[in-house]
Amino acid sequence: MNINPFELLKNAQNLQQQFGKVQEDLKTLTATGASGGGIVKLTVNGQMEITSLVIDPVAVDPRDVPMLQDLIIAAHRDALAKIKEEITEKLGPMVGGLNIPGLNA
């Protein structure tokens, strides 16, 4: 079997370009998760970074900090599930073979 090193290099460059495009596209995707009927809202980008956190003042009870913590965690989980779904929808064919953690089943 003959392997052409120039063909391998060309394929590697194509993959690198595709990966760069995917990274740029991920920066523009966002999803917002909510919990407690919208009392806590949290937005993440396609790189799984939190970009916004909004807490309704009614959720801020110094006597019940654990509830607020649970609401933030729930909103984060909701946002992550939504952004993963959006990434799969918009970039699925492009990221299919790239083994991005959290997106592959």
Residue 49 vs residue 99, higher pLDDT: 49
How far apart are the C-alpha atoms of 90 and 25, rounded to whole Å?
Answer: 9
| Residue 105 clears pLDDT 50, i.e. is over it | no
| Beta-carbon-side half-sphere exposure of residue 57 (alpha carbons within 13 Å) | 0
User: The whole model's pTM is what?
Assistant: 0.68
How far apart are the C-alpha atoms of 35 and 42, rounded to whole Å?
Answer: 9
Task: Note whether 51 and 34 are within 8 A (CB).
Answer: no
Task: Note whether 94 and 18 are within 8 A (CB).
Answer: yes
Number of structural domains (the chain) is 1
6 pLDDT tier (thresholds 50, 70, 90): confident
Mean pLDDT across the stretch 68-87?
A: 94
Is 104 inside a domain boundary?
no
Host domain of residue 24? 5-95
pLDDT tens, residue by residue, 19-45: 788 778 888 899 999 999 999 999 999
CATH number at 74 reads 3.30.1310.10
Task: Note whether 103 and 87 are within 8 A (CB).
Answer: yes
Residue 67 vs residue 89, higher pLDDT: 67
